[in-house]
Amino acid sequence: MASSSAVTIGVAGALGRMGQVVTAALDSRSEAQGDVTVSALFDRVGTEGSLSGSRILTSAIEAIEASRVLIDFTLPKASAALARSCAEPRAIGTVRPALIIGSTGFDVEDEALLAAAATQIVIVRSGNFSLGVNMLLGLVRQAARSLGPKAYDIEVLEAHHRRKIDAPSGTALMLGEAAAAGRGIDLASHSDRGRHGLTGPRKEGDIGFSVLRGGGIVGEHSVLFAAEDEILTLSHSARDRGLFARGAVEAALWAVAQTKPGLYDMQDVLGLKA
C-alpha cells in the first residue's frame, strides 16, 4: 500500500496498451514498496469520465495538477503538447510535474517543443527504457570504435508488432547513434534506411537499417558488424512490455529527485554516461 510520502504519478494514454501496462506496473510497485501511487489516468480529449479498470479518467490538466510526474507512451504530437502544458506556469506554491516520455518518431517541430519545455521541467525521454538495451548501447559504441569501417560494415535490424507506426524504431535509431558516436561520424549523413532496385555496392562507412513489422512482436533489435570473414552480432529481445513500464517508473523516481530542469535520457537515469 502506498505511503503518504509516495510519489504521485499520472499516466497518459491510459486506455492504450502501454498505458495499461504502466498502470499495472505502478499498482504492483505501490503494493510491494509503497513509494509510488497512481494519481490520475487520462487519454485523448473526450474520454474524461470513462473507466480504465476501476478508475475514472480525468482531463490532462487535472492529471498535471494532481501529479508530481507523468508517464507518457502515446504519440509524438500528444507528448510534445503534454510537455508544453506541463511547463506552463502553475499557481504559486505548486510544482510543475516532471515528464517521462517513451513516444518515438518526433519531427523538428516536436523536438523544439520538448527543448523549450525542458528549460522549465525535468523531462526523461528515451526510445527504450530497458536496462538491457541501455547496456547494449554502450557495447555497440565500443565495438564501433574498435571495428573500423574498412573491414566492418554495420547493420541495425529491428522487428516490431504490426501496429507500430514509425520506422526505424526509436531504439534502432539509438543504436545507430551509438555506432556513429563510436566511429566519430554523423548518423544523418552516414545512414542507409532503404534499399530497392539497383542500389549499387554498399557505401563504405554507412550504417544500414532494416525493418520488420508483423504480428505481436514486442521488440527485437540486433546490430551486425559484418566483415568478409566473420560477423559479430549484438542483440536484445524484449519478451514483455512490462520491462519498459518498470524502467519508466524508475525514471519517474529519478526525475523527481533532480533539482535542475533539462532533457535527460535513460543513460542519465542509470548513470551510464561517461
Residues recognised as catalytic:
160, 164
Instruction: Say if CB 251 and CB 166 are below 8 A apart.
Output: no
Alpha helices (runs of H) in the chain, residue ranges in sequence order? 17-32, 60-66, 76-87, 108-117, 131-146, 170-183, 242-256, 266-269
Amino acid found at 266: M
Closest CA to 179 of 227, 221, 143: 143
Burial 130-152, CB ≥16 within 10 A → b, else e: bbebbebbeebbebbeebebeeb
Three-class secondary structure assignment of 23-42: HHHHHHHHHHCCCEEEEEEE
Q: Is the dihedral of CA 76, 59, 122, 69 positive or negative?
A: negative
Closest CA to 221 of 110, 104, 77: 104
Instruction: Say if CB 113 and CB 81 are below 8 A apart.
Output: yes
